[in-house]
Structure 1
Amino acid sequence: MTANGTAVTPPVDFSFLNLYSIEEMSSKNPRRGVKRYHRAKSGRLESHALRLNNNQLTSIQGINAISYQILYLHGNQLRHLNHVLTILSTLQHLYNLTLHGNPLQERKRYKEQLIHRLPNLRSLDFTNVTQTDRRKTRNKLDTTALYRRNKV
């Protein structure tokens, strides 16, 4: 049990299964872990953590109905940062995220955009998000916005 009384559940692990879409999760079995997975009465796997790393995902459409706290998406083919941010911003309890190893990581201000749009994020790509990171992000985004307004 955690401090707030919820059961600790193992991460649901769909890593390394060559998935191309979130929908494919329903037709695949997650990788076996040390602990058994918990299922809801509906049959859905229950967990606060989901591992989808090292697949071929090009979109995370369909993940928004699920409230995860930990989400591993590294090593996929995600290209569209704004699309990913739109979906991830609906996960209000998300605090640990990995996206490195995706083409979207090459986007300008990748880290700043994620920190800005996901205010509860405490870890990004296995690195802690600090108050200094948040302050620098705010300053960079404010400077960019000011520059754009004055450029007109």
Structure 2
Amino acid sequence: MIMEIPREHLRILEISKPADFSFKKLTTIKAIGLEGARYTRVGGIPDRGPEKRFLTKSLWLNNNKLKTTKNIHELVNVTIEYPQQLGWINFSFNFITEIEESILKFPHLKILYFHGNCITDLNEVFKLRPLKELRKVTFHGNPIANYPRYRSYVVSVLPQIVNLDFTPVVKTEKLYAMPPEVIKKFKEEKAKCQGSVVGNQVKLIENSK
């Protein structure tokens, strides 16, 4: 069931301040409560909706001590009035090594900041592919950014983005040949998908006996 958002709330969401939980020394993402929000540098905190949660599309968790994005959906659900409208999360300047797939619960995410973290595995980037509305993402300041074909890898894996590390993705970049690592990953994912389909077909045959 899709929740209908009042027109007035839609207007507020478009101009709202972020829910700011930056500089809180957080080591894990948890439901820290609305009272934990900071008065941001733009002044104030977001308005609240009927459920007393914040009317905003933006969540700031930057400059903490997080190592993973695990349980992000729990924090969003208790602090944001309309979780499905979430469009921007700032995870910059933490110690994140892993992007947990619960982030995919928010399909309208357009901006994700991961710069200044500790991501060493390029496969973490691959996890963001299902976010079809994603337009801006940052990974500079992570070990993966030192990879020789880093930018080409990210652009190939996330063709929906238009800006990487605060630099526009130009058309010619999308015409470059995919790095071998990307081709290998796509083949692995295709094989995994086909294996899953075959496995389901076998189960159906066995169950019909």
**Deviations 1:43-80 (Å, cap 9, x if unpaired)?**
43254211110011111213221231111110011111
- TM-score calculated relative to the size of structure 1: 0.71
Q: CA contact under 8 A between 2:17 and 2:45: conserved in structure 1?
A: yes
Q: CA contact under 8 A between 1:55 and 1:75: conserved in structure 2?
A: yes
**Deviations 1:10-44 (Å, cap 9, x if unpaired)?**
444444445555xx153374543225335664643
**Deviations 1:88-121 (Å, cap 9, x if unpaired)?**
1122211011110011112342111211121220
Greater helix share, 1 or 2?
Answer: 2
Matches within 5 A, 1:96-107: 96-107=136-147
* Shift in CA distance, 14/53, structure 1 to aligned 2, threshold 3 Å: farther
- TM-score calculated relative to the size of structure 2: 0.54
In the alignment, what sits opposite 2:123?
82
- Structure 2: distance between partners of 1:107 and 1:13: 32
* Shift in CA distance, 58/93, structure 1 to aligned 2, threshold 3 Å: same
Pairing 1:7–2:14 present:
yes
- Structure 1: distance between partners of 2:16 and 2:174: 30
- Structure 2: distance between partners of 1:81 and 1:38: 38
Unmatched 5+ stretches in structure 1: 146-152
Matches within 5 A, 1:2-41: 7-21=14-28, 24-27=29-32, 29-33=36-40, 34=42, 36-37=45-46, 41=51
Report which of the two structures shows the higher radius of gyration computed on alpha carbons.
Answer: 2
Q: 96, 101, 106: which one pairs with 1:57? A: 96
> Which AA in structure 2 matches 1:51?
N
Percent of residue pairs identical? 29
In the alignment, what sits opposite 2:199?
none
Matches within 5 A, 1:60-139: 60-61=99-100, 62-66=102-106, 67-86=108-127, 88-136=128-176, 139=177
For the aligned residue pairs, the C-alpha RMSD in angstroms reads: 3.1
Q: CA contact under 8 A between 1:16 and 1:53: conserved in structure 2?
A: no
SS in structure 2 of the partner of residue 63 of structure 1: helix
SS in structure 1 of the partner of residue 125 of structure 2: helix
Structure with larger RCO (C-alpha < 8 A, sep 6+): 1
- Structure 1: distance between partners of 2:120 and 2:25: 17
SS in structure 1 of the partner of residue 31 of structure 2: helix
- Structure 2: distance between partners of 1:135 and 1:123: 16
Which is further off, 24-33 or 47-56? 24-33
